[in-house]
Structure 1
Amino acid sequence: MSKLRILFLCTGNSCRSQMAEGFADALRGDAIEASSAGVVKHGLNPLAVKAMAEAGVDISGHVSKTVDELPDLDFDWVVTLCGHAAETCPYFPAGPDGRPRRVHRGFDDPPSLARDAKSEEEAMAHYRRVRDEIRAMVERIPESLED
């Protein structure tokens, strides 16, 4: 059986999409070939790296990239993780088999939530919550995409 090829797309490819790709690789690498990208590049968020390390997943080697920088991949699913990406998602033409299927699974933006945090620990609470929500979605793929 071939792996599901999934693109996780977010605004800046700095946090949520990186977390989703990291979990897909670490937890579902046998069934998913994951990629992530942003509408623009914001650079890898260090608190996202820290939150994922706490969950046992190393994304420190990931690089923030745009869709235009991806190799020519044929995706089964394009999953937008934030409203801005859903609204500005590049067009992925569906082939005769209906692929790629596009679905929106929105998650709060940890950097925005943590903007007024008084300490790194207070900020990390937002990253951890969103990280855990993304993990739950990834663990249930493909069901979580078809719901």
Structure 2
Amino acid sequence: MKRKVLFICTANSARSLMAEALLRHMAGDQFEVASAGTQPKEPNPLALRVLAEAGISTEELHSKSLAHFRNEPWDYVITLCDKAATDCVAFREGAQQIAWDFPDPAVSNRRATFALTLKELKERIGLFTLVHQKGTALRPEDYNPVTIFKALGDELRLAALLLIRDQTRLCVCELTEAFGLSQPKVSRHLAILRDAGLVETERRGQWVYYYLNPRLPAWISRVVDETARNNGALIETPLVQLQAMSERPAVQCP
């Protein structure tokens, strides 16, 4: 039986529509997919254009209200912006909720921005399908080395993983301070690490903490440990920035 995936953003005119079309194109044999908006608008012509240019079908692709799917069961509910993550509480029961955060390309109204969003969505959805095609609890034999090294192939993601390893667990606000980057950008990279099975999360009050997946296969643990031992310079500056924080949530938590 196909697992059901619902993508949600505010307008359901660009990000979630593109995600719907992408997942259907990439793994329609594994997933039943739809998208919706908390405040739906008409499909953005540039979103449809970049999909068509990429050879992805836009047939029957249209904006839909979140209310349309309210009584349907879902295996995964994936929000694509912070507002949607807040507004779709009704879908949390019985579904695995995954929060991604992609900037709205409609703000710029430029084809190049839509094309970049499509590229980033394709990468994220590719990781999602690899990780979730056999279930959410990965066994050691389920880890694909291509997925792992792709996730670690970005300097920021690698440094974030090493910093989390060094500090045991960190929340997003600590990582944004350590790297001097915006919360949405850091969250997007952390989501890729999580989707690859490298880190897990735990909520403590208002904070969500990231920590190394304790069930990592031995070969991945060795790669991470050896990288940390031989590349300390990668986290020297982030460590200084982190230690300079005036208030660290981790210190306040038991």
Shift of 1:113: 2.7
- Conserved in 2, the CA contact under 8 Å of 1:28 and 1:139? no
> 1:70: Cα distance to partner?
2.7
**AA at the equivalent of 1:58:** S
* Contact 1:49/1:60, CA 8 A, preserved across alignment: no
| Residue type of the alignment partner of 2:64 | K
Q: Which residue of 2 aligns with 1:88?
A: 87
Which stretches in structure 2 are left out of the alignment for 5+ residues? 132-191, 198-254
8 Å CA contact retained: 2:105, 2:113? yes
What is the TM-score when the length of structure 1 is the normalising length? 0.83
Q: How many residues align?
A: 134
Residue 90 (structure 1) shift: 3.7
Larger radius of gyration: 2
What percentage of aligned pairs have identical amino acids?
31
Once the two structures are TM-superposed, the CA of residue 93 in structure 1 deviates from its matched residue by: 4.8
Instruction: Please provide the CA RMSD for this pair.
Output: 1.7
Cα deviation digits, residues 11-57 of structure 1 (max 9, x gap):
01100000010011111001111110000111111100001011111
Aligned-partner Cα distance in 1 for 2:66–2:60: 18
Residue of structure 1 aligned with 2:120, choices 107, 117, 133 = 133
CA contact (8 A) 2:17 2:61 kept: yes
Determine which of 107, 111, 119 is the counterpart of 2:102. Answer: 107
Report the equivalent of 1:124.
111
Cα offset for 1:75?
A: 0.4
- Aligned-pair distance for 1:82? 0.9
Residues of 2 paired with 1:57 and 1:87: CA distance? 30
Q: TM-score, normalised by structure 2?
A: 0.50
Q: Give 2:9's aligned residue.
A: 10
Letter in 1 for 2:18: M
**Larger RCO (alpha carbons 8 Å, 6+ apart):** 1
Higher helix share: 2
Tell me the distance in 2 between the aligned counterparts of 1:110 and 1:46: 12
CA displacement at 1:72 relative to structure 2: 3.8
Quick one: distance in 1 between partners of 2:70 and 2:24?
18
